[in-house]
Amino acid sequence: MTSDYNHPARRVYLDNSSTTPVRAEVLSVMLPFFAQAFGNASSIHRWGKEARVGVETAREKVAYLLGAEPSEIVFTSGGTEADNLALRSTARLLKSKGNHIITTAVEHHAVLHTCQSLEKEGFEVTYLPVDEYGMVGVESVAGAIRPGTILISVIHGQNEVGTIQPIEEIGRLAKEKGILLHTDAVQSAGKVPLKVRDLNVDLLSISSHKLYGPKGIGALYVRKSVKIAPQITGGAHERGRRAGTENVAGIVGFGEACYLAERELPEESLRLTSLRDRLIKGILDKIPDTVLNGHPSRRLPHNVNVSIKYVEGESILLNLDLMGIGASSGSACTSGSLEPSHVLLAMGLPHEVAHGSLRMTLGRMNTAEDIDYVLEVLPPIVSRLREMSAFSSLRDSRACEEGHGNVQ
Ligand SMILES: *Cc1c(COP(=O)(O)O)cnc(C)c1O
């Protein structure tokens, strides 16, 4: 096989947890909303009404994915803003009731860094530990609740290692104690059933570009009985919960993506699970000294995360890219050194094992042939890197300066 960068034998995109392409059906419903139905959805005239219909139809479709009422959907600029809105709004509105927030050590940075920012404002945050599979225990949530607890925020499907948290049980507990529960379900949406009434959640974040919709649009589900303080102020858009002229085309595309995801979920979820398991088994069988990260069964259907010992994740990524395969690693480059992921460290992985982590996230374009290609290409890459590392210590800093490996 050649390793000409511009002509790899095959192109296999396995970074669908970072982002996904816009589906053709989604793009085609969006297009009329740029230049024809371009009105401001707040305007009274026919142009405005046309845009408004687009927005409200999309809201129904997003609600359909979540089993929610359309009025419970607040459009935001994406998953990050939805997380910020959930946390900051609750903190501000319930300040008089208490200042304690419970979250986990394995949240996405959109939650983690928001919690850290709230700590600077005087809130107290408990970051719950997780077990070796990245799971948080319901008892540990129960044990952290105290009189001033106003919010629990636990990720639904973990974006790096794919572990699915026991949200339903945590939801029952939160309900019993009268504490609001938020979940970041960005990775789970369209991959596993996500009905807000079954989950017992009050607030739930999703993002369009993780499920074949456009970037820059997302939503926060807000249970009917829960009040929300806008974090972006201005006009009375989104029933006073998020100001700013609606991203009409984005919203329309997002709605269609949610509708299609929900319709295809049972079949697509099984298909992805089978590809996932084929890839996991192939790697563990063909490459010695590899371990699966994350839960073996309570796992997102599209997530594969393995640690390949004695090699740097970054070096594998660069070599996979040469062969036309796009993946990601669990390391983020900070100040010229490779920082292993906070998620893998929270799971108790030693630094050197966390460094060799490789995340491959499947999507609707992937086929069994793609998996076979990876299983053909990856083992020799690993052998070669292991031979090289026997001679010289790995050049972390060089791989890092090139800026690879941020996990979204
Ligand atoms: C991608 C992601 C986000 C951020 O969503 P954006 O729409 O990119 O802002 C938040 N949480 C999780 C778990 C994600 O995977």
Answer yes or no: 115 catalytic. no
Domain boundaries, the chain: 12-21+265-401, 24-261
Position in ligand 1 atom list of the atom nearest CA 78 = 7
Average pLDDT over residues 301-317: 94
Any idea which fold 24-261 has?
Aspartate Aminotransferase; domain 2 (3.40.640)
- Give me ligand 1 centre to Cα 80, in Å: 6
User: What is the reported pLDDT for 389?
Assistant: 79
CA angle 18, 269, 83 (to 5 degrees): 40
pLDDT digits (tens, 9 = 90+) for 63-103: 999 999 999 999 999 999 999 999 999 999 999 999 999 99
- CATH class, domain 12-21+265-401, is alpha beta
Spot the catalytic one: 115, 258, 333, 400.
333
Pocket of ligand 1 (CB under 6 A): 17, 78-80, 108, 110, 155, 159, 184, 186-187, 207, 209-210, 218, 408
Q: Is the pLDDT of residue 403 over 50?
A: no
For the chain, how many residues are written?
408
Q: Are 44 and 190 in contact (CB under 8 A)?
A: no
Question: Which ligand 1 atom sits closest to the C-alpha of 216?
Answer: 7
pTM of structure: 0.94
386 CA distance to ligand 1 middle (Å) = 34
Q: Report which protein residue has its CA nearest ligand 1's atom 5.
A: 79
Q: What is the pLDDT of residue 371?
A: 98
pLDDT digits (tens, 9 = 90+) for 118-172: 999 999 999 999 999 999 999 999 999 999 999 999 999 999 999 999 999 999 9
Per-residue pLDDT tens over the stretch 256-296: 999 999 999 999 999 999 999 999 999 999 999 999 999 99
Mind listing the pLDDT tens digit for each residue in 192-231?
Answer: 999 999 999 999 999 999 999 999 999 999 999 999 999 9
User: What is the residue-wise DSSP string for 21-72?
Assistant: PPPHHHHHHHTHHHHTS---TT-SSHHHHHHHHHHHHHHHHHHHHHT--GGG
Residue nearest to atom 1 of ligand 1 (CA): 408
Give the angle subtended at the CA of 380 by the CAs of 379 and 382, to the nearest 5°. Answer: 65
